[in-house]
Copies of this chain bind each other. A is one copy, B any other.
Amino acid sequence: MVREQGPPQHPWAYVAVDVVVLTIRDRQLQVMTIRRAIAPGQGGPALPGGFVRLDEDLEAAARRELREETGLEVDYLEQVRTYGAPGRDPRARTFAVLYLAVMADLPDGAAGTDASAASWVPVDELLAVDLPFDHHEMLVDAVERARSKLEYTPIAASFCRTAFTIGDLRRVYEIVWGKRLNPANFARKVQSVEGFVVETGDVVSEGRGRPAKTFTRGDVTRLHPPLRR
């Protein structure tokens, strides 16, 4: 019963947070990357992240690192999983708590001081590149989490700006799920889920086609019935 002996004689480790920030840009699912200044993976892309401070909660650490490394303030942040394989960081015993963040496609530099080393990359492209630590697995896990959360939470609205059309929302689902959805059935479904979207009363014209009503996100945290993939 190891724990009963108290901590001082126990092994200690470094604890880091890493963040997969997703958005939709140019009709693609993209992820925020930073350029690594040191080995491993020096000069290459990696997920933003860093060590948790002693006086700081995990989620606060994720937000702080994101702000420091990319200048981003995200709309949605959720813990995904913790990685702790003994050799995952060749330098020292390090655990990494992974967060998934979602944000709307804001104009570059809308926020961001240290944006020089930070850039958006399409998820498929980043998955084809060699990434340090277990960032590849993290990206796969976070994207899969996002995909399944679209089914039963209103997370899709976090990919959109404050006011959005049903078409905007549908494109989120189509791009994240990689699958075409029937516009008519999708619109009916979304509006039948109590509290998912709230009509603003405005309409917007986005290029060609009939102008669309706009909506803001409602107040539910779970969709029932869910939208099936």
Point out residues on A near B: beta carbons under 8 Å: 1-4, 6-8, 10-16, 34, 36-38, 49-58, 65, 68-69, 79, 81-82, 84-86, 89, 91-95, 97, 114, 117
Contacts and interface: CB of A to CB of B under 8 A. Distances in A.
Contact of A57 (B52, B85, B94): B85
B84 A97 contact: yes
A106 B93 CA distance: 37
A36 B84 contact: no
B84 A52 contact: yes
How many identical chains are in the complex? 2
Contacts of A79: 81-82
Contact of A11 (B1, B8, B54): B54
B86 A7 contact: no
B82 A38 contact: no
Contacts of A4: 36-38
A68 to B, nearest CB: 7
Contact of A65 (B2, B37, B58): B2
Nearest to A228: B225
A8 B94 CA distance: 11
29 contacts: A1-B50, A2-B51, A3-B49, A3-B65, A4-B36, A4-B38, A7-B14, A7-B94, A10-B51, A11-B51, A11-B53, A11-B54, A12-B12, A13-B13, A13-B15, A13-B52, A13-B54, A15-B15, A15-B84, A55-B86, A56-B86, A57-B85, A57-B86, A58-B82, A58-B84, A79-B81, A79-B82, A82-B82, A84-B97
